[in-house]
Structure 1
Amino acid sequence: MADKAVSDAWWRNTVWYALDVKTYSDSDGDGWGDFTGLTRRMSYLRELGIGCLWLTPFHPSPMRDDGYDVADYYGVDPRLGTAGDLVEMVRTAHDHGIRVVMDLVVNHTSDEHPWFREARSDARSPRRGYYVWSREQPPPSDRPEPIFPGEQKETWTFDEEAGEWYFHRYHDFQPDLAFGTPQVHDEIHKVIGFWLELGLDGFRVDSLPFLIDKPGRGDDGRRRHRDLRTVRDFLSRRRGDAVLLGEANLPPDEQRAFFGDPNCPHDESEVQLLFDFAVQGAVWLGLAQGSAAPLERAIRARPDVPDSCSYAVFARTHDELTLEQVLTADEVEQVRAVFAPDGVGWIYGRGLRRRLASLLRHDDDRIRLVHSLVHAIPGVPVLQYGDEVGLADDLELPGRLATRVPMRWTEEDDGGFSDASPHRWARRAGNVREGASVAAQRHVAGSLLEATRQLVHVRRECAEIGFGATEVLPTAEDSVLGLRSTWLGQRVVTFHNVSERRVPDASAGVDLDSETVVDLLSPGGEAKASPSRIPLEPWGYRWLRLDASDATDVAGVGV
């Protein structure tokens, strides 16, 4: 990608930070985080180096699925504040150079949404066509397996009031919208347009494959991809620099179609970003094996994508760590044997409901390594709130909520989250670990927070990783992942040791082809003669800029 187009693709060289407003910071003492509390934390996020916030749902909701059961797409849950408070937060974020993206949950609604209430009560209502109905119980071929085994029995439910069966990919209180119908398209466009007018910078599209794939409608996936393109067209007309980040837990070859037509290499007509679940799986498999081979395979297997598109690189999100779509059954078992040997945290027969620090047994060296990998692998780094300080999970909370605990700002009993009595909190505190707070680590040399802040800032200075071409280097050590990213003649090389043994020379077998290097994570940033050896400690990593005399030409471009 030429540098002249960089400003149009800001999402390719920034760092994202995911948070839930209700568990982040409470400003009024009612036990619920709110937009005013988030606004007051904006200087912290700027200091951390975050370039884009991803907000999980904040709409009015019965909260039977943590807000992913939306009852009003145009509203703000009053416990989080008002629309005015949200707009003030967005303005403040923009003043701090931070963009804001929200969850777009349009695969389904709550069964308490006015659309569904009207649809079930009147067969002649236009709202009836907003959902997927069947007069007869659908055959097994049209009944997908439940997403939440143990919590969910079926994907079709008979509605007594409607006298028909309705489809729900998730729980029975989350009826699926009939994506692809003109009426639903119009509604989605209005929702997108509304939030863009209030200053939002884009959307994380929830459940993207399920949005496309509805039962009982024949093999019309190609048409529904066209329907998704109409959503992107509308977004781009209303706001040319707005972004869509898609959630599609699929193998890379199946993901590719969500960027645009795979037969047209430059077609970028659908989403600009997709979560890279294959790389996420490779991170955990590599750690389990003490080998970089899974990561090398995953990075090499990525299909080419259009210039303005990229992958979102992450280790954990607020959902369970699910690997079955991108790893073999044997590989999943290897990960489970290392990170859940006693089965603790294993859920739905497929994943782990643990936070990053808890999975890594609060080993700061391994946590730093994973953060570094997320920032060094080509794509857009996505951090989960609290992972920068090693926030623990709480397995006494049900299901996925175990990872969605309140942020800890201080070492006090309430963690600085809220002055309210804990029984009034939106979510009970996680397992409190001494030192796992912002106050305990801020400006403390060598702390996890300071190491994460350094990685975020260095990554945003490395436009080579955001916009350039990246190659996997043929290192002689099986445990070392070597990557070289090149853009506009500038090169950045990273080495990561994913094992517990020391590596005497990570660059063995690699020709750096450089007279000088700058160690990007060392103080001073002075160019030095290219080293003859690059040792790595257990779980160690290095970031090097090669022949860096003109590096200022690209450092920080597009941030």
Structure 2
Amino acid sequence: MKPNVKWWKNAAINRRSWRWEDANNQQHNGHWWQHAVIYQIYPRSFQDTTGNGIGDLDGIIARMDYIASLGIDAIWLCPIFESPMKDMGYDITNMRVIDPLFGNIKDFDRLLKIAHNFGIKVLLDGVWNHTSDQHPWFVESRKNSDNPKADWYVWADAKPDGSPPNNWLSAFMGKSAWEWDEQRQQHYFYNFLASQPELNWHNPEVVAAILECAEFWLDRGIDGFRLDAVNFYIHDKHLRDNPIRLKNGIFPDGVNRDNPMVEHMFQFNFCRPENLELLKPIRELCDRYGDAVTLGEVTLCEDSIYLSGEYIKGKDRLHLVYNSALMAEKPMSANLMRETLKRVQQHFSEGGQCWMVGNHDYGRLRSRWTGVDANGQPYPDKFYCAIAALLLSLPGALCLYQGDELGLSEGKIPEDIPEDKIQDPFGQALYPIVSGRDGSRTPMPWSGDLSNAGFTDSKEPWLPIPQKHLSQAVDRQNADPDSLLNTWRKLLHWRKQQPALIAGNFRLIDTPEPVLGFIREYADQRLLCLFNLSDEPVKYDLSVHSKYTPETSLGFDSKLRQNVLELPEYGVFFANLEL
């Protein structure tokens, strides 16, 4: 469904910006990315303008008014590069060319300029760990063992019995991470799909080639990269076997325990300590472009908070990093969040944390942080409004995945997505043991009444749109001032006015379960933040604090009598404390 927006095709690049930032936002010390809210866009599911059932760059441009209305600081676009799409664009054949499925370089340049006119930064997905097996680099590499690119990928001989070089397992396929190549008569290594061979980052020529691709986009004016699978770049040169994981051992954050890959500890195929040295030339390149940012993905590791903290230490590694600490499929609680915050404070003492609670690789936030109340009812929108307030009060940056601002739940197989409509290769390989990632990738519901929810004019979108999402469509929530979408908007704009939330320090305070409490402080603002993450009212004694002024503009209910605060179920309370 092509949106009824006329200006976007020929928009004047110098049109007056619609900026939601206020002047106060410029006065705080630090860089924009230190406190940014980054809106993640999965282009093929955002907005289709060509009628082929797949979202495109013009669709993002057409919805730029919506994106700007949220009050976010930047957008991160999942891969839009030339690809055979065996892994929905994470298998790239040319890192400098836009795939025709999404548009062309002129479309991208227009998107970039219009986003900048709205005051929105643009990050591209740096998929630099691997390429498609159809990439010209790999086509040459597989010819023989003495061509100029022979060592650009990870090749190894079979064992004497013909079996793979070691016991490494693929993260996606649940089988050996080695694929025999008849042409070269060797195995090549892949961490994800066999069609995604791993680049050999031990080879300086590979590093130089990747940096040249990055420089190409930085020269076009982008504001940085999200670095896909950044902890996967380096493998053990000696190809040692991974140790078997003990049944009572530590499991990686956010990984389904039924996934065959967790049979082994992730010690030698990725998460290598020597990987940290490779961050330096990437950081050096981006720093040459002023405030260009590197946002690293550090996941599938036994302790993602600790390891991700290593990736931002000092001034010569990454600027920001996110991990999978909050990606688990279990209910949120004050205690869980409190313990996570303590560990983040320990390992991110200099900042650099980007909070991630949902993306295209994990189940929807609403379906992971879920449960039932005392009456057996699913958590209401009020709970997710409290979560929005909590996330936007934390120190550091935040990634918000498209649709999470609407409270979309996971598309389920087969109820919402028939088994024969599964698109994700991970799901195709392992369903029903693992459902895959299609459930969080269903198209955005723009209208509760239009065909295909206003996403496309096509008879059939690339993934089905769950019927249950229609009641949460953008137009329905726009019309409700108390909707989750409008709560996110209100909070995002309010946050920009709070120096303590933008640049302030952070201190946890003692609060009884189920209340989570902390204080943010910067210059002449000291902000008390309290959250009741339960379905029962709780009381909190405010007399332990100095004089306070409650924040009443956000619409959160609470009762205050003689310094005793009663927080309702899933209640939120902010107050400015006297210094």
Q: Sort the TM-score into its range (normalised by shorter chain).
A: 0.7 to 0.9
Q: How does 1:327-342 map to 2 (within 5 A)?
A: none
Q: Deviations over 1:393-414 (max 9, x none)?
A: 3223342122101111111231
Are the counterparts in 2 of residues 134 and 165 from structure 1 also a CA contact under 8 Å?
yes
**Equivalent AA in structure 2 for residue 376 of structure 1:** S
1:415 match? 453
Are the counterparts in 2 of residues 316 and 384 from structure 1 also a CA contact under 8 Å?
yes
**Equivalent AA in structure 2 for residue 240 of structure 1:** G
2:296 match? 246
In 2, Cα distance between the equivalents of 1:106 and 1:520? Answer: 45
Closer/same/farther in 2, CA of residues 4 and 15 from structure 1, 3 Å limit: closer
Closer/same/farther in 2, CA of residues 186 and 60 from structure 1, 3 Å limit: same
In 2, Cα distance between the equivalents of 1:217 and 1:5? Answer: 51
Are the counterparts in 1 of residues 442 and 463 from structure 2 also a CA contact under 8 Å?
yes
In 2, Cα distance between the equivalents of 1:440 and 1:531? Answer: 40
1:512 match? 545
**Equivalent AA in structure 1 for residue 457 of structure 2:** D
Task: Measure how far apart 1:199 and its partner are.
Answer: 1.8
Q: Which has the higher helix share?
A: 1
2:310 match? 257
Are the counterparts in 1 of residues 165 and 178 from structure 2 also a CA contact under 8 Å?
no
Closer/same/farther in 2, CA of residues 292 and 390 from structure 1, 3 Å limit: closer
Q: How does 1:196-345 map to 2 (within 5 A)?
A: 196-216=218-238, 221-237=272-288, 239-249=289-299, 250=301, 251=303, 252-260=305-313, 267-281=314-328, 285=330, 287=332, 291-302=333-344, 303-305=346-348, 307=350, 309-320=351-362
Task: Measure how far apart 1:145 and its partner are.
Answer: 3.0
Task: Measure how far apart 1:124 and its partner are.
Answer: 2.0
TM score, norm. by length of structure 1: 0.81
In 1, Cα distance between the equivalents of 2:51 and 2:379? Answer: 30
Are the counterparts in 2 of residues 122 and 128 from structure 1 also a CA contact under 8 Å?
yes
In 1, Cα distance between the equivalents of 2:327 and 2:561? Answer: 32
Closer/same/farther in 2, CA of residues 182 and 491 from structure 1, 3 Å limit: same
Are the counterparts in 2 of residues 61 and 69 from structure 1 also a CA contact under 8 Å?
yes
In 2, Cα distance between the equivalents of 1:80 and 1:99? Answer: 20
1:323 match? none
1:482 and 2:517 aligned: yes
Closer/same/farther in 2, CA of residues 522 and 486 from structure 1, 3 Å limit: same
2:243 match? none
Task: Measure how far apart 1:379 and its partner are.
Answer: 2.0
Q: Identify the match of residue 494 of structure 1 among 518, 529, 536.
A: 529
1:442 and 2:478 aligned: yes
1:32 match? 54
Task: Measure how far apart 1:221 and its partner are.
Answer: 4.5
In 2, Cα distance between the equivalents of 1:185 and 1:294? Answer: 39
TM score, norm. by length of structure 2: 0.79
Q: Deviations over 1:131-179 (max 9, x none)?
A: 011123499895323312xx34111111111111111111111110011
1:356 and 2:366 aligned: yes
Task: Measure how far apart 1:316 and its partner are.
Answer: 1.4
Closer/same/farther in 2, CA of residues 256 and 14 from structure 1, 3 Å limit: closer
Are the counterparts in 1 of residues 550 and 573 from structure 2 also a CA contact under 8 Å?
no
In 1, Cα distance between the equivalents of 2:498 and 2:235? Answer: 38
Task: Measure how far apart 1:480 and its partner are.
Answer: 0.5
What secondary structure does 1:129 align onto?
A: coil
User: Once superposed, what is the RMSD of the aligned Cα atoms?
Assistant: 2.7
Deviates more, 1:182-191 or 1:428-437: 428-437
In 2, Cα distance between the equivalents of 1:492 and 1:436? Answer: 32
Are the counterparts in 2 of residues 499 and 538 from structure 1 also a CA contact under 8 Å?
yes
**Equivalent AA in structure 2 for residue 145 of structure 1:** L
1:463 and 2:495 aligned: no
In 2, Cα distance between the equivalents of 1:286 and 1:406? Answer: 25
1:97 and 2:119 aligned: yes
Closer/same/farther in 2, CA of residues 433 and 286 from structure 1, 3 Å limit: closer
Q: Deviations over 1:302-351 (max 9, x none)?
A: 225464x421113211112xxxxxxxxxxxxxxxxxxxxxxxxxxxxxxx
Task: Measure how far apart 1:63 and its partner are.
Answer: 1.4
1:388 and 2:405 aligned: yes
What secondary structure does 1:495 align onto?
A: strand
In 2, Cα distance between the equivalents of 1:105 and 1:510? Answer: 52
Q: Identify the match of residue 384 of structure 2 among 353, 358, 367.
A: 367
2:12 match? none
In 1, Cα distance between the equivalents of 2:293 and 2:286? Answer: 8
In 2, Cα distance between the equivalents of 1:5 and 1:162? Answer: 59
Closer/same/farther in 2, CA of residues 110 and 256 from structure 1, 3 Å limit: same
Task: Measure how far apart 1:358 and its partner are.
Answer: 7.7
Task: Measure how far apart 1:99 and its partner are.
Answer: 0.5
Q: Deviations over 1:276-311 (max 9, x none)?
A: 433455xx6562xxx41221111112225464x421
1:19 match? 41
> Structure 1: which 5+ runs fail to align?
261-266, 321-352, 524-528, 549-559
In 2, Cα distance between the equivalents of 1:212 and 1:372? Answer: 38
In 2, Cα distance between the equivalents of 1:316 and 1:4? Answer: 29
Q: Identify the match of residue 175 of structure 2 among 133, 153, 161.
A: 153
> Structure 2: which 5+ runs fail to align?
1-24, 241-267, 371-377, 428-435
